[in-house]
Structure 1
Amino acid sequence: MNQPSKQSNTRLIWAITAFIISVWIGSASFAQTVESEEAVISEEAVISSDVPSTKEAVNDAVIGDLLGIDYATWDRTALRVEKVLLSDSTSSFRLERTRTELSTWRDEFSSAMSENDARLATVNAQITALGAVPAEGETEAETVTTRRETLITMRDDLAAPGLLAAEAYARADGIITEIEVKLRAKQTAALMERSVSPLNPTLWPDAVTQVVSGITTMAAEIKAGITSRDWTSYNQLRMLWAAVSVLVAIYLFIRSPMLVHNLMPHPKTKAGSVIAESIGAVLEGVLPLLGLIALAYGLHGLDVFGVRGEAVLEQVPRAGFVIIVASWLSKQFFPEGDRYGPLNHVKAIRDQLRRNGVILAWVVALRLPFAAFLESGTDQTDNASVLFFPFIVVVSVSLFRFATLLRHAPDENAGPDVSAGRTRSFIGRVVQLVAIAAPILAALGYDAAARAIVFPTSLSLGLIGVIIYLQTLSFRIYDLLYDVEDGRKKALAPMMVGFALFVLAAPLFALIWGAQVTDLLSAWARFTAGYTWGQTKISPSDFLTFVAIFSIGYLLTGFIKTSLRSSVLPRTSLDLGAQDAIVAGFGYVGIFLAAVIAITSAGIDLSSLAIVAGALSVGIGFGLQTIVSNFVSGIILLIERPVSQGDWIEVGDRMGYVRDISVRATRIETFDRTDVIVPNADLISNQVINWTRGNLAGRLILKIGVAYGTDVDRVAGILREIAEAHPMVVMTPPPSIYFMNFGADALEFEIRAILRDVNFIMSVQSELNFQISRRFSEENIEIPFAQRDIWLRNPEVLRHSDTDNDAETRPAAPEFHQTRRADDISDPDGGDTT
């Protein structure tokens, strides 16, 4: 029963999507005629002044025709704009339109500057191939001289269009800079302009009257639009589209959670669950937004709402976008129930933050159609300051409350916090200061300044939330790809993703805080054009290209290394050392290729560094000879593999396991669990004992001593029996028992046996010692220990020295009576003392 339901829901979704697209296209076609008329009017308004063309412009036009640029028109446009800049009464709107027009010209000139670069490079190479001009007194073939002069003329002709384009580009860029200075001055003056205080009660009746009058006017416009409309079949189709759009919007608003649940699969793997959960969470916000867009464009197609109604209706999708995104973010960051969000607040704080976030979103969203309603009617600044003051107060209170709750410490039982505590505290303090300053500024009459800080702050919080959500998602994806837990703490890649998200969001922050699209386009044009210092031109876009390509190559190399280590190489017959060598070698080659491809793609010219590299090569060679030696030794270690990861080696007085071989040094973990960093050159040039090279078998030598008089054959049989019984001792060859020596205190034996795994030599030695001690005790075999007897040859000397001292104050010297073998006793005078 579930499968047919899912199929029907899928067909319904496709039908809804197709209808939305058709409504969108139809609405766009309805508005195309109006937009075209407005474009014509604006173009006629821009090109209004009659500037005579100059002789230079005509000459430029001849060369400009080669590149498709009308320099005569550009010269007239530039002269007109320069006249406009001399006037202080030019509006900001006209300055914006003029800057947009000049930006188009500047982009055209920028492209023309490099139009003949490839051909110029070829001609310059031809001139270089002909050699230098002969010195005075020298001669060359006339054909060569003629050819060189021809090529030089050709080079000058090819360079002329680029030079003209560069001059025009500089002129356009300079005029745009002047316009931007004027715009910033006007924006600053508008922000600092003071109107009356909205707390003055005498202004309230006029403000209320303006709102009521505006509502009445809008209702009359809508009524007139409906009654005056000729509802032919074509307009009835419009009405049908509008009705269907309303139904689609209502369906998406109500049924979007159920649609997401039915459409999304329910995989059993962890990776599939994370991906499905993330996509489903995004769809829960996207589907209602699509419904809102369908509703707005469907109603817009009726064309019955008049000037005010159309202005308000145009802001409905934006307001709905703010509400839907804010509600979605509130559910993701402050979820209901026992599930923690990315900020790990306790449930009580999460509930309050979720409510405050939704209230804040509604107030900020309603401000958009309300502002359009006011701006489409009257320009009375005093009434605007009074009418916007309630919005400013409510938003400020909500912001302050939200920031206070946001600064609460996370739950100690939750997982790691994505946002650092200091960063969250700093953002909370800044938001609190804005929430306090905005109502004060508005109350003092600085309504524009108050609106310029409080509403962008609210939208910026939402954008930061989106970035944090995407960064959290990248953390989870990284953990799944590399099969690690909390990889965010150890890896650079997720942090780089977070940094890249903030960089990509910079234009959105700029738009939120009042920048225009033309401002961003102008900044991007300057950014891509590069900066020149002396004879060197640095292009930030080339640098970004290098960073982006190298980062992609680096991440791809890391991913392939992980796949090789975990999936591909374990299925082969290669040993662990060979696998590590292949992975390490691939990593070096991958990073090298990523750097080469990034440098080539960015167009970075390294030829200018050749002289510097040649001058410094000697000094670098002496200064870095140790590093180079270690690097080459590391390559040799990876190729020859005399030492591999996991080997038990002994270097000098250090012994341990090889844990990592890098290009400079090798890390050895000793039995004390300490890491010893050994330069690779020491492993190549010095003597190294590898206990596990080739195989894990190794020999154990165990020394045992028994007392004199013990039956040596019985001792040898017991030792052989114990050695052969141990499971780690191999029988091919069998263990050997050797009677090594007649020691000073014992008869010395040795057990020499080959172990299956020499890594267990200490534990095997201990277990054999236990067995030997137990068997020797059962067989009454004595294990001797060293004994020494002490004899004093001249004890009378000690007695005489004692009598010389005060007998009352010093005790008498003790007498020693020890026994020793007779052959070890001798008299000082050479006599026998036995």
Structure 2
Amino acid sequence: MRALRLLLFVLLAALSAPSAAVLLAPSVASAQEAVAPDYKQWGKDADLAEQVLEADRASNQALEQLRDRIVDWRTRFTAAQTANQQRIETLRNQIAALGPAPEEGQSEAREIAARRSELNDQLNKLQAPGIAAEEARSRAEGIIKEIDTRIRERQADALLKLSPSPVNPVNWPAGAAVLTQGLKTLWNETVEAWENPARRTELRNNLPAIILYLVVAGFLVLRAPAFIERLTMRLRHSASMRSRDVAASILSLGQVLVPVLGVFLLVMAVRATGMTGLRSGELIRALPDAAAVLFVARWLGASVFAGGTSAPLVVDRPAEARFHSSMLGFAAAIEVMRVAFATDVRPPLSQAAQSVWEFPVVVLVAVFLFRLGHLIRRRDGAKGGEAGPLRDRIQPMFGTALVAASIISPLLGVVGYVAAANALIWPALGTLALVGLVIVLNRFLTDLYLIATRSGEEGREALVPVLIGTILSIAAIPALALIWGARTADLTEAWTRFREGIVLGGARISPTSFLTLVAVFVLGYLATRLLQSALKSSVLPRTKLEKGVQNAVAAGVGYVGIFLAGVVAVTAAGLDLSSLAIVAGALSVGIGFGLQNIVQNFVSGIILLIERPISEGDMIEVNGQFGIVKGISVRSTWIETFDRTDVIVPNGDLVSGVVTNLTRGNLTGRLILKVGVAYGTDTRRVETILREIAEAQPMVLVDPAPGVVFTGFGADSLDFEVRMILSDVNYKLAVQSEVNHEIARRFTEEGIEIPFAQRDLWIRNPEALWGEGKPKAAGVGTAATTVEKPMTDPRLIHNDPSDEDDGH
């Protein structure tokens, strides 16, 4: 019965899972009692709880009620621990202002000693309630833990209890007797009600309403679900609506709500007859729950296993998966009715009757769960060995777990561990329903995100949908814990521990303080960025500061603002991090060694922003990289080379290394061109031509005038250099190209030759190039060779145009 209640909770109430943590939170947190706890009454309650635990006769329900009362006392003590906290802090500050207490053998002024004693007495009196509350809270904590341990031990004993085997034919008559006796009871109740004239009169009077209820209920249960399903599919495949998926998802809820409403009308019709009794009344009351389980399972199967590659869960046979989902819902509905049928049976069912009565439904669920788990484990398009999305890796493992549960549960029941079989098969089914609900909710919220952002199907792989799925999965953890046997008290206890936070170095970090820290820091960060934006766009451009100074001021304001935001956030959260100073100092040494390059670049970036040896737009050369400075940050500088590639240079290299800044101060720069002419050329004429070419360039400055230098006699040419000062060094390559074109044209017109390197090839052993029986050249080993027949081997052909020029 408990497993079915949990299953109903998952199917009908898990929609509120995202707020489960809030619902589980104790409501007394916002209404703490200001008065001191009644320690006399607490002592009585604590003694009674310890006596109950020592006797070990109370039921689990009684222990839960006792635990709730002790938890209420613990909450009061927790609130009392912070009593007079502000006044205590004030007294401690006053005592600290008096200076350190004198050591043994030393004395201090009488007035100071008297004042110190007076303040210490006041401090002790104010601390007494908190100390008493802390002691009482420790006792309450111990009682709560002892109660939890006792209940868990009883649950474990019940889970491992060995019952008579349900497959043993000896035990079958006991189970058949339960069914026979129940049917007789229903028949007797019906006959007794029919023989009552008052009930027959009530039936005749309510007959029109009963007929109306039955007609409407029959339509809502038998016809409406199929109609809504067809309408949903038509709407989902419509191309005329952008929000069709969201509308179809909302409309599909009618497949659950409408037939359940029809079952409620059916129940009203049966009750209007006046022919129900105790046993039949239990069955009638269970009908809506059974209908809800059935139609929710059918709806989840249709939503999750929709078919196609865009389905929330891709399987090989989606139609078969939907069928097995519906059958699992049918089996769960049978369990709901079975539990209602066996309620208030007199005498209570024997262990043999319970085993025989429960085992068939377990087997029925296991059969359908086995096949559905097999379908989930295997899917179309699975690529072996290829790492896909996380859900594609989890899906086979989840299917395997369902298959394992469907195999182990019947085996446990056959042996006689029927309680363990129920504790495994029903939570496995509840987990399947919860996972399906999370998938459907994730799909629905993702569709809303796509509508809000006007994104296509590719938006499903964005960050926000992934975060939505993560949040839903975390929110489903409390429901999953309840399904697998956790008590509500366990969840409230976990939530209490979470709210209390953790202690790090004497500082307690709770969720409230953490959220305060994050909120204040985010506000401070946004305010800093807003101030930076105002400085960059409105204030600094109207000053006479250079661009680099403006960037330095804006960056400095940003770092100071972020530091202040962090300090204010820590202060607002009430965190005392002084106890972490020693740990932080030790860590800073290790971090300093590991991050020394980053710190060096950070400090270098500040130096660059202050001294401004380079600025944005400067043409520089550093570490062999030549380009334009596009940006200077605190850690590195961004340079764009002339081939349009970005080079990130650490600021440490710019401060400690050699940097050539070609445009610092002005844009003028020198261009040097080297030119070589052939030997025998008139050097004065070459000098005149080169000077005329340089002076004709519009980018070349007249003062100082360009110069031509005859630098020397090279191995192959007479070497000249043309030296020009350009008005804008950014056009250096363009001027160089234009001057080279002009030199080539003028030299061609003047008949001046630009030489190139030439080499003669001498064969030292020409006979080695001939095979045996070939004629050998005369004068082997000499510089020139003579052969007796023409050489046709292409390797011996020597075409050097210089042979004809120099006579070789």
- Taking structure 2 as the reference length, the TM-score comes to 0.66
Q: CA separation in 2, counterparts of 1:419 and 1:388?
A: 38
Q: CA offset at residue 173 of structure 1?
A: 1.4
Q: CA offset at residue 419 of structure 1?
A: 2.8
Aligned match of 2:250:
283
Q: Which amino acid aligns with 2:311?
A: G
Given candidates 382, 399, 403, the residue that maps to 1:432 is 403
1:702–1:644 Cα change, 3 Å:
same
- Report the secondary structure of 1:197's partner residue: coil
Q: CA separation in 2, counterparts of 1:578 and 1:661?
A: 11
Given candidates 138, 155, 161, the residue that maps to 1:187 is 155
1:434–1:258 Cα change, 3 Å:
closer
- What are the superposed Cα offsets for residues 706-745 of structure 1, whole Å, 9 maximum, x if unpaired? 7658997999899899999xxxxx9999xx9987758853
Aligned match of 2:429:
458
Aligned match of 1:71:
39
Q: CA offset at residue 423 of structure 1?
A: 2.8
Q: CA offset at residue 451 of structure 1?
A: 1.2
Given candidates 643, 653, 660, the residue that maps to 1:682 is 653
Q: CA separation in 2, counterparts of 1:586 and 1:261?
A: 58
Is it true that 1:138 corresponds to 2:107 in the alignment?
yes
Q: CA separation in 2, counterparts of 1:312 and 1:577?
A: 83
Aligned match of 2:142:
174
Aligned match of 2:17:
none
Q: Is the 8 A contact 1:207 1:386 kept in 2?
A: no
Q: CA offset at residue 187 of structure 1?
A: 0.5
- What are the superposed Cα offsets for residues 486-517 of structure 1, whole Å, 9 maximum, x if unpaired? 799897x8766655544433211111111121
- What are the superposed Cα offsets for residues 532-552 of structure 1, whole Å, 9 maximum, x if unpaired? 79xx6675744x863896499
Q: CA offset at residue 163 of structure 1?
A: 1.9
Q: Is the 8 A contact 1:329 1:466 kept in 2?
A: yes
Q: CA separation in 1, counterparts of 2:656 and 2:496?
A: 57
Q: CA offset at residue 427 of structure 1?
A: 2.3
Given candidates 382, 391, 396, the residue that maps to 2:361 is 391
- What are the superposed Cα offsets for residues 546-587 of structure 1, whole Å, 9 maximum, x if unpaired? 38964997899799999x99xx99xx9999999999999899
Given candidates 165, 179, 196, the residue that maps to 2:164 is 196
Q: Which amino acid aligns with 2:430?
A: L
Given candidates 308, 313, 317, the residue that maps to 1:349 is 317
Q: Is the 8 A contact 2:376 2:395 kept in 1?
A: yes
- What are the superposed Cα offsets for residues 600-626 of structure 1, whole Å, 9 maximum, x if unpaired? 565432111234455776776677554
Aligned match of 2:376:
406
Aligned match of 1:83:
51
Q: Which amino acid aligns with 1:81?
A: A
Q: Is the 8 A contact 1:441 1:449 kept in 2?
A: yes
1:306–1:819 Cα change, 3 Å:
closer
**Greater Cα offset, 636-645 or 519-528:** 636-645
Q: Which amino acid aligns with 1:113?
A: Q
1:751–1:719 Cα change, 3 Å:
farther
1:780–1:811 Cα change, 3 Å:
same
Aligned match of 2:790:
none
Given candidates 96, 108, 119, the residue that maps to 2:87 is 119
Q: CA separation in 2, counterparts of 1:419 and 1:768?
A: 61
1:189–1:417 Cα change, 3 Å:
same
Q: CA separation in 2, counterparts of 1:660 and 1:139?
A: 64
Q: Is the 8 A contact 1:696 1:756 kept in 2?
A: yes
Aligned match of 1:444:
415
**Greater Cα offset, 695-704 or 200-209:** 695-704
- Report the secondary structure of 2:578's partner residue: coil
- What are the superposed Cα offsets for residues 73-104 of structure 1, whole Å, 9 maximum, x if unpaired? 32222222222112233222211222222222
Is it true that 1:105 corresponds to 2:73 in the alignment?
yes
Q: How does 1:460-539 map to 2 (within 5 A)?
A: 460-467=431-438, 499-529=470-500, 539=508
Say what the alpha-carbon RMSD is for the aligned residues: 6.6
- Taking structure 1 as the reference length, the TM-score comes to 0.65
Q: CA separation in 2, counterparts of 1:318 and 1:311?
A: 12
Q: CA offset at residue 170 of structure 1?
A: 1.4
Q: CA separation in 2, counterparts of 1:695 and 1:219?
A: 109
**Any stretches of 5+ residues in structure 2 without a counterpart?**
1-31, 765-774, 786-799
1:260–1:454 Cα change, 3 Å:
same
Q: Is the 8 A contact 1:716 1:737 kept in 2?
A: no
- Report the secondary structure of 2:354's partner residue: helix
1:644–1:789 Cα change, 3 Å:
closer
Is it true that 1:154 corresponds to 2:107 in the alignment?
no
Q: Is the 8 A contact 1:334 1:350 kept in 2?
A: yes
1:199–1:156 Cα change, 3 Å:
same
Q: CA offset at residue 643 of structure 1?
A: 7.2
Q: CA separation in 2, counterparts of 1:478 and 1:767?
A: 55
Q: CA offset at residue 438 of structure 1?
A: 0.7
Q: CA separation in 2, counterparts of 1:522 and 1:199?
A: 41
Given candidates 725, 750, 756, the residue that maps to 1:786 is 756
Q: Is the 8 A contact 1:249 1:288 kept in 2?
A: no
Percentage identity across aligned positions? 33
1:810–1:554 Cα change, 3 Å:
farther
Q: CA separation in 2, counterparts of 1:721 and 1:229?
A: 126
Q: CA offset at residue 200 of structure 1?
A: 3.4
- Report the secondary structure of 1:449's partner residue: helix
**Greater Cα offset, 707-716 or 305-314:** 707-716
1:65–1:370 Cα change, 3 Å:
closer
- Report the secondary structure of 2:130's partner residue: helix
- Report the secondary structure of 1:815's partner residue: coil
1:530–1:501 Cα change, 3 Å:
same
**Any stretches of 5+ residues in structure 1 without a counterpart?**
1-63, 725-729, 797-806, 826-832
Q: Is the 8 A contact 1:285 1:324 kept in 2?
A: no
- Report the secondary structure of 2:310's partner residue: coil
Q: Is the 8 A contact 2:409 2:422 kept in 1?
A: yes
Q: Is the 8 A contact 2:193 2:199 kept in 1?
A: no
Q: Which amino acid aligns with 1:374?
A: A
Aligned match of 2:780:
812
- Report the secondary structure of 1:100's partner residue: helix
- What are the superposed Cα offsets for residues 745-792 of structure 1, whole Å, 9 maximum, x if unpaired? 37868798989996x998x79997998899899989787342457799
1:548–1:137 Cα change, 3 Å:
closer
Q: CA separation in 2, counterparts of 1:224 and 1:720?
A: 129
Q: CA separation in 2, counterparts of 1:579 and 1:353?
A: 66
- What are the superposed Cα offsets for residues 17-65 of structure 1, whole Å, 9 maximum, x if unpaired? xxxxxxxxxxxxxxxxxxxxxxxxxxxxxxxxxxxxxxxxxxxxxxx99
Q: CA offset at residue 519 of structure 1?
A: 1.9
Q: CA offset at residue 165 of structure 1?
A: 1.7
- Report the secondary structure of 2:342's partner residue: helix
Q: Is the 8 A contact 2:366 2:407 kept in 1?
A: yes
Aligned match of 2:622:
651
Q: CA offset at residue 439 of structure 1?
A: 1.0
Aligned match of 2:11:
none
Query: Which structure carries more relative contact order (alpha carbon 8 Å, separation 6+)?
Result: 2
Q: CA offset at residue 701 of structure 1?
A: 7.5
Aligned match of 2:793:
none
- What are the superposed Cα offsets for residues 669-722 of structure 1, whole Å, 9 maximum, x if unpaired? 989999976433223332345789999999998767676589979998998999
**Greater Cα offset, 218-227 or 112-121:** 218-227
Q: How does 1:559-578 map to 2 (within 5 A)?
A: none
1:95–1:618 Cα change, 3 Å:
closer
Q: Which amino acid aligns with 1:206?
A: A
Q: How many residues of Structure 1 are paired with residues of Structure 2 in the alignment?
A: 716
**Greater Cα offset, 315-324 or 168-177:** 315-324
Q: CA separation in 2, counterparts of 1:666 and 1:279?
A: 49
